[in-house]
Structure 1
Amino acid sequence: MRTFVDEIAAHAAREPGRIAVTTPAGELTYAELTARVDALAGVLAARGARAETVCAVAVARGVDAVIAVAAAVRCGAAFLTLDVEQPPRRLAALVRSGGADLLVTTTALAGRLRLPVPGRPVLLDRPEAGAGGTAPAGPPDGRALAYVSHTSGSTGEPSPVLVEHRGLDSYLRFVARDFGLGPGTVALQVAPLGYDASVRDTFAPLLAGGRLVVVDRSAVLRPEEFGAAVRDHGVNALLSVTPSFLAFLAGRPDGAGLLNGVRLVVSSGESLRPFLAAGGRSLVGGRLVNQYGPTECTMTSTRYEVPADPATGSDVVGTPIDGVVVRLLDEDLRPVPEGATGEVCIGGNGVARGYRGLPARTAECFVPDPSGPPGSRLYRTGDLARSGPGGLHLLGRRDRQVKIRGHRVDPAEVEGALLAHPGVTGAVVTPAEDGRGRVFLVAHVTGDLGGTDDGALRAHLAATLPPHLMPRRFVRLAELPTTRSGKADRRALADAAGRS
């Protein structure tokens, strides 16, 4: 099949001098980008990378990260991108659970992270002698593994999701087509590496022949530097922003000015409703699109074009994208009546292969589609919704998962990390909302913690958890309240935290 990297190479053949990537260190043309991708793909192929090989990419944000991911695809392998700012112990867990066969990194990062990937790492700052430069063949078919991406798991460990090429390539082509991306597109990379949104951020504009602008992550998060990047580079598209990020911009007196010239803003990862209810739509002068979809369904399953004067009574996420089927079903996987609440179950091109090494969870979440053709499957999202004006209206969850700053979070993962502290005997983590509708975590803990302050608990968690899993508050209790069945009374804890 023809991959998105093949499309990038086709742009290089047609217009080799067109700028593909802009960074603070300079620019790279499509011809230069493709040459470097092919050279690294030759190295990876020489090391045995082929279909189903998982190449872990542990490099800092920048051109090398773009090249490394594209090279893995070019030689028919799969990629697992890592955010090198996360704790090394967590990164080690990700490469183990993700089944990484090969590591692409730099000398300094290899020494600092010491990731448990077999064999010698491919070091980007030490070119290998005798390496090829000929682009290897692409994957044999659309069912080949494209990438591994992790989600927060109820087991306390991140769950590795296996996404195939037919889902990824179909999705990236849809993004380019639906949003009208093309040679005039200038997109700023916003999403952090290590999360699937960064794949859309990075490669949808390049597939369309546009220009990708990459700046330091810290610059994206500082309003003045973010505004300067948009202004100086003529950015006109933001493909992966969260409502929290938009609310952050909206809270500034110069918020609207920071988006001058941006014609397309695509939001995803959490509810857009609080931002819209606060009047945030006026911040975005161009198109604002609200996307919805789990990692298990290749990033996005539905999208909603937010009108200039949106209704804010519910969380509207719109209609299915091309090649995707969305059904609202009851517990027995039967369709619910029109207007009734059901679980969002997703089928079609984007449904992932399943969770690596977790057959029971895969069987529970990826089920046969009773209304689809033979062999088709549905992913049970756990999200509750109903149909209404504009399409799908999200109503909550049937489990404990929440969205925080665009990341899906299962509190059990944080509870497991807390219980690993020698002084903690009990831990329950509940979600709460601040006055602006932003979700955060509250940790309720028991144990001999007289000499352990909140800073020490945070330091303990920071050794294994990324920042979005860090509780904002810690509540110390003599004992955890329980229900009549003896289980922790999470509702009582959440209500008490909300009153305090």
Structure 2
Amino acid sequence: MAWIPLTHLLLPAPPEEAGIPVADEPLLSRGAFAQASLAAAGGLQAKPLRRVALWFEDAAQMAVALLACWRAGVVAVLPGDAQAHTCSALDATVDAWLTDAALPVPADRQWRLEDLEGHPPLAPAELDPALGLVLCTSGSSGRPKHIAKTWRQLMDEVRALQDQWPDADTPVLGSVSAQHMYGLPFRVLWPLSAGRLLDRPQRIYPEDLQQASLRHPSFVWIASPALLRRLGERLNWKALRGRLVRIHSSGGELPAEVSGHIERHLGLRPTEIYGSSETGAVAWRRGAEDWQPLPGVAVSLNAEGALRVRSPWVNAAEEQTADGAELVCGRFRLLGRLDRIVKIEEKRISLPMLERALAGHPYVTEARLGAIAGAPRLAALVALSAKGLHALRNQGRKAVTAALRAHLAAGFESLALPRTWRFFSQLPGNAQGKLPRHEFEAAAGPRPLAPEARELPGQAENERRYTLDIPYDLAYFTGHFPSAPVVPGVAQISWAMSLAQRDLCPGFHFAGMEVLKFQRLLRPGDVASLALKWDASKRKLHFAFTVEGAPCSSGRILEGGRP
């Protein structure tokens, strides 16, 4: 289909284009999309409203709401997340919320799109590109910022994306939220103008993204480094190869080994996008290439060596970044954030320099450092490499920490060495690959007592199955054992009981054990399966932990009377 400017999306479509799908499951045609937006716009104008917060998990419904606000002259405000503190702070600045989810704001201030029905729809019209919306940042470097964008700026950005990748005509699926200045243009606005099918849900897990993608002959992924680092061996690479035609990645640097791993399996390297909420998309690269500006973007350096960005979709006040850079023949290399400097005992310490130094150790793939409120020293979140995990499993946490401290001590004074260390398979972060301040502090806080349990579908009513990624930094490893960490048996029993109480038999009380067996050790980094079966007639809970099909532990937990 020919390119449609965003301003023309609510004009009557030619008959041959009206039936083109905007989204599927359920199907939404271009004609129905315009009708839904105009109907919602009529409801918004009848209220009347001036400023509305939007939070949608369905990208197609988000698009309907956005275009409705635009047509009605209402300012749409997109929060970065739906957490209670975010919603509470934003609620006082808007007239109402449009959403498809249950939000932590008063129920009478939350509307669904169907709540706007019953009013005459507004007439089809060409939309005014001077109108705008507001996007809220994730707060990874402090309080969330509210960034005003005009629709003309968004139109110019998605046109530049199409100019750079004119071959883009496949369905678009993504692991990132449509609420942000990466997901919004890449997952929603660009596909709308290009006539490409957009996938409704945010696909957070690799398996879900793969399953949804394989409905189509070919497709594109809009992903974050966080998801791409988790691909591992969980995907059917053979089924994806040749059908996954492009992967876009943004939200942080994609480690070279991850990019290379994907290329070996799929025959393509992810296309990384450099940008920010303020600047939008700026440049792209593949692998270790230098960054190449998008069409219409010009870059330069200020006196401090920080990158300056000029483009039709960047406000003049937002042109100056805090990213150190080096210009190379029309392209550039990034040298780290210049504003991530902390003072400890009056000494200035560059966090990017420490992170790059840690990433140079063979135990480390990625690191994130920061100061914790009320603490005088730094905390380090470290994603361990395969060598690092081997050392952790066979030498213990203390030995790995000592090796990393010694590595840093060779180039930095003792004040710069982290006091707190937390180890992961990949760094924590939200779906955009960002690590908001409160999430950094939570990750640097108490070590976990249990793994995250992902429930597998399709089980009988009295059974449950889960996948458990054994944390690298499980709290129980400290004493069991310091130089060869092993999950204690009592912890495994506790996890089985906790999940059963939550999902199978609420109110379950421990009264004893039968046929308890421990056959294989559970170690840091193991991906375990847990099977639960509740025998209501005998009041017994059967559990079994396995790794790659090999039994680790099993037994029956007897249910006792209520205390």
Shared fold (TM-score, shorter chain, > 0.5): yes
Where does 1:152-171 land on structure 2 (aligned, <5 Å)? Answer: 152=139, 156-171=142-157
d(CA) in 1 for partners of 2:91, 2:5? 24
Offset of residue 317 of structure 1: 5.0
Contact 2:79 2:136 in 1 (8 A): no
* Alpha-carbon spacing, 1:263–1:42, altered in 2? closer, same or farther (3 Å): same
* Alpha-carbon spacing, 1:397–1:185, altered in 2? closer, same or farther (3 Å): same
d(CA) in 1 for partners of 2:381, 2:331? 28
Offset of residue 251 of structure 1: 4.5
Match of 2:526 in 1: none
Q: Does 1:90 align with 2:53?
A: no
1:349 is matched by which residue type in structure 2? P
Contact 1:39 1:131 in 2 (8 A): yes
d(CA) in 1 for partners of 2:41, 2:418? 45
Q: Does 1:474 align with 2:445?
A: yes
Q: Does 1:280 align with 2:267?
A: no
* Alpha-carbon spacing, 1:170–1:135, altered in 2? closer, same or farther (3 Å): same
Contact 1:174 1:322 in 2 (8 A): yes
Q: 2:63 aligns with which of 63, 66, 70?
A: 66
SS at match of 2:278: helix
Residues 189-210 of structure 1: per-residue CA shift (max 9 Å, x gap): 3312432222121121111011
1:322 is matched by which residue type in structure 2? P
Residues 139-174 of structure 1: per-residue CA shift (max 9 Å, x gap): 3x53x32332324275x4211111222221100112
Q: 2:98 aligns with which of 104, 122, 134?
A: 104
d(CA) in 2 for partners of 1:242, 1:153? 15
d(CA) in 1 for partners of 2:259, 2:60? 38
d(CA) in 1 for partners of 2:30, 2:180? 25
d(CA) in 2 for partners of 1:214, 1:467? 29
1:177 is matched by which residue type in structure 2? D
Offset of residue 125 of structure 1: 3.5
Residues 98-123 of structure 1: per-residue CA shift (max 9 Å, x gap): x43442135x736x4328xxx95543
Q: 1:56 aligns with which of 53, 57, 64?
A: 53
* Alpha-carbon spacing, 1:60–1:48, altered in 2? closer, same or farther (3 Å): same
Offset of residue 292 of structure 1: 0.5
SS at match of 1:44: helix
* Alpha-carbon spacing, 1:181–1:32, altered in 2? closer, same or farther (3 Å): farther
Match of 1:132 in 2: 121
Contact 1:39 1:132 in 2 (8 A): yes
Divergent runs of 4+, >6 A: 401-404, 442-445
d(CA) in 1 for partners of 2:218, 2:125? 33
Q: Does 1:237 align with 2:237?
A: no
Contact 1:168 1:350 in 2 (8 A): yes
* Alpha-carbon spacing, 1:294–1:63, altered in 2? closer, same or farther (3 Å): closer
Q: 1:223 aligns with which of 186, 206, 212?
A: 206
1:103 is matched by which residue type in structure 2? W
d(CA) in 2 for partners of 1:170, 1:324? 11
d(CA) in 2 for partners of 1:93, 1:205? 32
Compare CA radii of gyration and give the structure with the larger one.
2
Match of 1:18 in 2: 20
Match of 2:180 in 1: 195
Q: Does 1:435 align with 2:384?
A: yes
* Alpha-carbon spacing, 1:188–1:67, altered in 2? closer, same or farther (3 Å): same
Offset of residue 56 of structure 1: 0.8
Match of 1:449 in 2: none
Q: 2:284 aligns with which of 290, 294, 303?
A: 303
Contact 2:300 2:327 in 1 (8 A): no
Contact 1:105 1:124 in 2 (8 A): yes
TM-score (norm: length of structure 1): 0.65
Match of 1:173 in 2: 159
Residues 402-428 of structure 1: per-residue CA shift (max 9 Å, x gap): 999xxxx9968xx5xxx5xxxxx5476
1:268 is matched by which residue type in structure 2? S
TM-score (norm: length of structure 2): 0.58
d(CA) in 2 for partners of 1:103, 1:224? 32
Contact 1:443 1:474 in 2 (8 A): no
Structure 2, unmatched stretches of 5+, are 342-350, 356-367, 389-416, 421-435, 448-563
Residues 429-476 of structure 1: per-residue CA shift (max 9 Å, x gap): 6454322499xxx9979xxxxxxxxxxxxxxxxxxx798546423379
1:88 is matched by which residue type in structure 2? A
d(CA) in 2 for partners of 1:279, 1:130? 54
d(CA) in 2 for partners of 1:241, 1:153? 18
Count residues in correspondence.
377
Contact 2:153 2:313 in 1 (8 A): yes
Question: What is the aligned-residue RMSD (CA, Å)?
Answer: 3.8
Residues 224-278 of structure 1: per-residue CA shift (max 9 Å, x gap): 332111111334112x312232221145464464455011111111112434575
d(CA) in 2 for partners of 1:101, 1:181? 41
Contact 1:153 1:159 in 2 (8 A): no
Offset of residue 214 of structure 1: 1.9
Q: Percent identity?
A: 19
SS at match of 1:233: coil
SS at match of 1:126: helix
d(CA) in 1 for partners of 2:376, 2:12? 54
Match of 2:191 in 1: 205
2:322 is matched by which residue type in structure 1? G
2:173 is matched by which residue type in structure 1? L
d(CA) in 1 for partners of 2:437, 2:68? 27
d(CA) in 2 for partners of 1:228, 1:205? 20
Residues 289-333 of structure 1: per-residue CA shift (max 9 Å, x gap): 221011111x201122x2xxx5x4xxx4522222222112223xx
d(CA) in 2 for partners of 1:75, 1:237? 32
d(CA) in 2 for partners of 1:123, 1:136? 24
* Alpha-carbon spacing, 1:287–1:71, altered in 2? closer, same or farther (3 Å): farther
Structure 1, unmatched stretches of 5+, are 332-341, 354-365, 367-377, 420-424, 446-464, 477-500
